[in-house]
Amino acid sequence: MEKKEMLQILETDDFGFIDSIFQSAYETKLEYTGNKVYFRGIIEFSNLCTKDCFYCGIRKSNVSLKRFSMTQDEIIEAALFADKSGYGSIVLQSGERTDEEFVSFIEQLIETIKQRTNNRLGITLSLGEQAADIFKRWHSAGAHRYLLRIETSNKKLYEHLHPDDHSYDKRLNCLDVLRDIGYQVGTGVMIGLPYQTNDDLANDILFFEKHDIDMIGMGPYIVHNDTPLAKSVTFDPQKNFLLGLKMIALARLHLKDINIASTTALQALDARGREEGLKAGANIIMPNITPVKYRNFYRLYEGKPCLDENASLCQSCLDERIQSIGEKIGYSQWGDSPHFFKRTGKMPKTD
Ligand code: SAM
Ligand code: SF4
């Protein structure tokens, strides 16, 4: 796809044209990744964070927030729920910490989950920037995918959204290190950020291509009132929602064989947001399986959905929603990115 075409799609408000784009992105998804949706049960296990991103509700300077960390047993229980429910994979996500106590906690956790599920559960990590040897330790322990959003591929905008001690180049370098170690590499951006242009968004898609990304987890930016960024913008949820769907469609049309998540932020802006994401070309859903008692403390943005819905309730509601749009669920399958196998020549795990 030419950048010119991407811009045309990002700019248009002709709904007939937009529908036809979503339709052809959906057909591309069917052709390259099939008609299955794969689940990654996400466990948001701690809101302790050493960083201070200007947009995020759990940034370290937000003192109005009660901090929590789940125990190994609590996390393992959630992982076993995912396994029993046929989710196939989990995502372990938290604020960023690089201390040895945290690193070995994660290492042990991965080993135990792998052992207790007889290697049935695929494990994705989303634990921020780490040194290469830490990424390696977690990979050796059994994690095989890593999600680290670049947040925006525009370095100047990145610098505007983060304090001076956060580094775009360091984050970018982590993506290369992860690939060299052998992870399936995921990244993504926030869509509709203050000062972000359509040109930036088209460049984000080209960035994913240039860095040979296997999986994408991107979603609309949503304001959190206790963050510095909230003060600098008028937030337009409808605009960001539509842009979020358009970006999924563009990523599918341009990159074809990657995994793309229909993220919770879409659902936060529209009750049927995740289904709309699937219809625009996404093939991954990340049901929240964090115990309800912790969910309120992992509020990255306003209006985060399912704060009081336990994992079993979420499950039956999701099954119905996915089947209602004619998709099948890849129960108990890893559903890895076909792009990863193409670029590495490796064989997929037989489920
Ligand atoms: N700390 C790790 C990191 O930053 O990579 C993982 C957890 S962090 C909460 C996961 C993602 O949440 C970030 O990459 C960011 O894109 C997203 N996020 C944070 N604040 C957000 C907001 N206000 N709106 C939408 N997404 C947000
Ligand atoms: Fe911490 Fe991640 Fe939030 Fe940044 S986005 S403040 S690193 S949890």
313 — pLDDT class (breaks 50, 70, 90): low
311 — pLDDT class (breaks 50, 70, 90): low
Q: How far is the CA of 67 from the centre of ligand 2 (A)?
A: 14
Q: Which ligand 2 atom sits closest to the C-alpha of 56?
A: 3
168-174: average pLDDT? 98
pLDDT tens track for 135-161:
999 999 999 999 999 999 999 999 999
Q: How far is the CA of 127 from the centre of ligand 2 (A)?
A: 9
323 — pLDDT class (breaks 50, 70, 90): confident
The residue to mutate among 300, 302, 304, having the most atoms of ligand 1 within 8 angstroms of its beta carbon, is: 300
Residue with token string 């429910």: 85
Q: Which ligand 2 atom sits closest to the C-alpha of 162?
A: 4
Show Cβ contacts of residue 28 under 8 Å, excluding neighbours closer than 6 positions: 252, 253, 256, 281
pLDDT tens track for 29-65:
999 999 999 999 999 999 999 999 999 999 999 999 9
254 close to 2: Cβ distance less than 8 angstroms:
no
* Mean of pLDDT over the chain: 94
Q: Which ligand 1 atom sits closest to the C-alpha of 94?
A: 7
| Ligand nearest the Cα atom of residue 301 | 1
HSE-CB of 155 using CA atoms within 13 angstroms: 6
Residues having CB closer than 6 A to ligand 2 are 49, 51, 53, 56, 58-59, 95-96, 128
Question: Which residue, judged by its Cα, is nearest atom 19 of ligand 1?
Answer: 56
271 — pLDDT class (breaks 50, 70, 90): confident
| Domains with residue ranges and CATH for the chain | 3-342 (3.20.20.70)
Q: How far is the CA of 24 from the centre of ligand 2 (A)?
A: 35
Residues having CB closer than 6 A to ligand 1 are 55-56, 93, 95-96, 126, 128, 148-149, 151, 190, 221-222, 224, 265, 300-301
| Pairwise CA distance, residues 337 & 205, whole Å | 17
The region of weakest confidence among 17-26, 43-52, 117-126, 303-312 is 303-312
Is residue 308 pLDDT above 70, yes or no? Answer: no
Predicted pLDDT at 324: 86
Predicted pLDDT at 312: 64
Is residue 320 pLDDT above 90, yes or no? Answer: no
Residue 297's SS3 state is: coil
Write the DSSP string, 103-119: HHHHHHHHHHHHHHTTT
The region of weakest confidence among 45-59, 111-125, 207-221, 229-243 is 229-243
Predicted pLDDT at 332: 94
266-286: average pLDDT? 94
Predicted pLDDT at 91: 98
292 — pLDDT class (breaks 50, 70, 90): very high
Q: What share of the chain in percent tops pLDDT 90?
A: 87
Phi-psi region of 176 (alpha: psi -120 to 50; beta: other; left: phi over 0): alpha
Is residue 197 pLDDT above 90, yes or no? Answer: yes
Verdict on whether the full-model pTM lies above 0.95:
yes
Q: Which ligand 1 atom sits closest to the C-alpha of 56?
A: 20
| Ligand nearest the Cα atom of residue 125 | 1
The residue to mutate among 46, 60, 190, having the most atoms of ligand 1 within 8 angstroms of its beta carbon, is: 190
Q: How far is the CA of 310 from the centre of ligand 2 (A)?
A: 25
216 close to 189: Cβ distance less than 8 angstroms:
no
For residue 18 the two structure tokens come to: 């937009």
Question: Which residue, judged by its Cα, is nearest atom 2 of ligand 2?
Answer: 95
Residue 243's SS3 state is: helix
Q: Which ligand 1 atom sits closest to the C-alpha of 301?
A: 23
